[in-house]
Amino acid sequence: MDFGLVLPTMPRGVTVEGIQAAAEVAQRFGWSTVWTTDHILPGRGPLGDDEEYAYIFEAITTLAYIGGRFPGLRLGTSAICVPMRNNAPLLAKELATLDALTHGRLTVALGIGDEEDKPEYANLGSTDRFRQRGAYLEEAIHLWRHLWAGKREPFEGRFHHLTDFAFGPLPAQGERLPIWTGGRSEAAYRRAGRISDGYHASQTGPDNLRPRLPIIRAEAKAAGRPMPTLSIRTRVKPGRAPGPVYALVGTPDDMLADLRAFRELGVQHIALLFEGHTPEKVTAAVEWFASEVVAEIVRESR
């Protein structure tokens, strides 16, 4: 099992120094990947300006900055809401450029959002796309593969019609730049099996993940593809009791039990989001988890 760190790019009060410290401690402990969260112009919600995503560093720009400073880390988006961003070819260019500049270290996790993200769609001028967001995401993935492979043939889709175009630079990983998708619906599970390299789930414990896997596996088999990589993004809340939204909670032994259950289900990567965003707090949180939890998982794997 492989570990990654969701960078503290939110909420209000986060700093460049905190983001750098998180990347540094992840690299120091040999964690593979640092991830950024994607929101652009969310609705204010019940908490107004203090809502978690109201103040957030932009996902792709942040990865470019961290990628240049920490060459030992892979970089990931967790997860870009593609239909909300309104221009799939431009996003293809941004991601290809980032992969080229970082010599092939990018993994792109993608999503479509849910009902609570509807105000953000409206703020970004994408209201009409909200009810078509699944179809738009799937077409964007096919378009990106087309462009990233260096193809010059026309691309004719429902949302995109390209006839006379040139695209470059190509990603260092080419058309095989890893694309993971998430979601908590049957359509999302089928999408992951049919066209994704990985299934990247959030707010999902082992018991919730288990019934999704046969759907993903069957769809991958029908498409003649291997089972996607399984990845979980989760918050870490030491000493807390379980709440309505899944997180790694309780004692180190409680967390180890969940991680073992994930491992038995075939989960290969865990992306961890810790509370606290100052350099001191994020460093201490990672150090604690690495010594109290990860060390035991590594020992068991030997």
Q: Give residue-wise pLDDT tens across range 151-208.
A: 999 999 999 999 999 999 999 999 999 999 999 999 999 999 999 999 999 999 999 9
Tell me how far apart the alpha carbons of residues 79 and 91 are, in angstroms, rounded to a whole number: 13
Query: Residue 104, by phi and psi: left (phi above 0), alpha (psi -120 to 50) or beta?
Result: left
Domain count, the chain: 1
pTM for this model (two decimals):
0.96
CATH number for the domain that contains residue 176 = 3.20.20.30
Tell me how far apart the alpha carbons of residues 129 and 220 are, in angstroms, rounded to a whole number: 27
pLDDT in tens, 270-287: 999 999 889 999 999 999
Tell me how far apart the alpha carbons of residues 222 and 148 are, in angstroms, rounded to a whole number: 25
Tell me how far apart the alpha carbons of residues 302 and 297 are, in angstroms, rounded to a whole number: 9
Average pLDDT over residues 204-226: 98
Residue 158: per-residue pLDDT:
96
Residue 50: per-residue pLDDT:
47
* Strand ranges, E, within the chain: 2-6, 33-36, 74-81, 106-111, 155-156, 161-162, 179-181, 198-202, 229-238, 248-250, 269-274
Degrees, nearest 5: CA angle 82-146-96:
60
Per-residue pLDDT band for 302 (boundaries 50, 70, 90) equals confident
Q: Residue 44 sits in which domain range?
A: 2-301
